[in-house]
């Protein structure tokens, strides 16, 4: 795993909410995924704090599942690319797509099982103007445009594989953490995953119902109102 960046004690006291425990991530990905909604993904680097509320995720099952999940990166077993997934729960797995963008997952279950949750959308809540600039947007851009998609949220927070793959999101000393505040448990919409070619029928996408920052909010709301369409 990548070397962990340390967050100073003073900076820790400025972070929003409370750190989520590792035990939380040691559950199955389909259990962790909906419970992640409403929690905060917080990045602390170069003296600044950026944070977004998680509003959309997808669960990916480990190769031990019956049947295995052919859409998961861990489907064919451990490789140098996906090794983080086979380690302990609560670690960031960041990978490149098209050689241009990054997506971020969090490892789940006990070591060796390789379940994970893909983060699909955030609502920017701290450092919103900087997150917009990171996306090449005007600082006054609508928040729904900033991190509504797995690659967009990585751009908004400045997340890359070289800099963030293998970071422990359940560690108080990490520069990338998952935290929780007193945000009320949201109403959750469950749909099949999107943007994949395999196991497209599994209901493993979870989103906050009616939230404008999810990817494709109008289509998601139509699906929630009439799942057969």
DSSP 148: B
10 Å CB burial of residue 69 (0-12, 13-18, 19+) is buried
User: Which pLDDT belongs to residue 70?
Assistant: 83
Residue 168 lies inside a defined structural domain of this protein = yes
Structure-block tokens of residue 205: 């996408």
User: Which pLDDT belongs to residue 195?
Assistant: 84
Q: What's the CA dihedral at 71, 72, 76, 80 to 10 degrees?
A: 130
Q: What's the CA dihedral at 50, 120, 87, 172 to 10 degrees?
A: 20
Tell me how many degrees the CA angle 139-141-147 measures, rounded to the nearest 5: 100
Residue 123 lies inside a defined structural domain of this protein = yes
Nearest to 113 by CA among 85, 152, 84, 147: 85
Tell me: the pLDDT tens digits for 95-123?
Answer: 999 878 999 999 999 999 999 999 999 99
10 Å CB burial of residue 182 (0-12, 13-18, 19+) is exposed
Q: Which residues pair with 108 in a beta bridge?
A: 115
Distance CA 61, CA 39 (A): 21
What residues of the chain score a pLDDT lower than 70? 1-6, 8-12, 217-219, 221-229
User: Which pLDDT belongs to residue 91?
Assistant: 98
* Domain ranges, residue 144: 9-225
Distance CA 103, CA 159 (A): 8
Residue 113 lies inside a defined structural domain of this protein = yes
Residue 148 lies inside a defined structural domain of this protein = yes
Structure-block tokens of residue 157: 């927070």
Structure-block tokens of residue 60: 């990916």
Structure-block tokens of residue 26: 């040691």
Residue 97 lies inside a defined structural domain of this protein = yes
CATH value at residue 129: 3.10.300.10
User: Which pLDDT belongs to residue 1?
Assistant: 46
Number of domains observed in the structure of the chain:
1
Residue 2 lies inside a defined structural domain of this protein = no
Pairing of strands 188-191, 115-126: unpaired
Residue 164 lies inside a defined structural domain of this protein = yes
Tell me: the pLDDT tens digits for 120-135?
Answer: 999 999 999 999 999 9
User: Which pLDDT belongs to residue 25?
Assistant: 98
132 within 8 A of 146, measured Cβ to Cβ: yes
- How many residues does this entry show for the chain? 229
Residue 190 lies inside a defined structural domain of this protein = yes
């Amino acid at each position: 795993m990548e070397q962990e960046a340390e967050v100073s004690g003073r900076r820790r006291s400025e972070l929003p909410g409370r750190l989520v425990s590792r035990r939380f991530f040691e559950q199955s990905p389909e259990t962790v995924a909906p419970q992640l909604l409403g929690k905060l993904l917080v990045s602390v680097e170069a003296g600044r704090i950026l944070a977004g509320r998680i509003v959309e995720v997808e669960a990916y099952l480990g190769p031990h599942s019956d049947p295995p999940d052919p859409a998961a990166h861990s489907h064919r077993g451990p490789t140098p690319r996906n090794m983080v997934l086979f380690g302990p729960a609560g670690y960031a797995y960041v990978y490149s797509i098209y050689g241009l963008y990054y997506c971020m997952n969090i490892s789940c279950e006990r070591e060796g099982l390789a379940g994970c949750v893909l983060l699909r959308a955030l609502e920017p809540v701290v450092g919103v103007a900087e997150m917009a600039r990171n996306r090449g947007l005007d600082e006054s851009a609508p928040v729904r445009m900033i991190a509504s998609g797995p690659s967009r949220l990585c751009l908004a927070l400045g997340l890359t594989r070289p800099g963030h793959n293998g970071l422990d999101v359940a560690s108080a000393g990490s520069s990338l953490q998952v935290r929780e505040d007193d945000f009320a448990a949201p109403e959750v919409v469950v749909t099949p995953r999107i943007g994949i070619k395999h196991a497209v029928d599994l209901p493993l996408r979870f989103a906050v119902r009616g939230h404008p920052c999810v990817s494709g909010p109008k289509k998601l709301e139509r699906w929630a109102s009439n799942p057969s369409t």
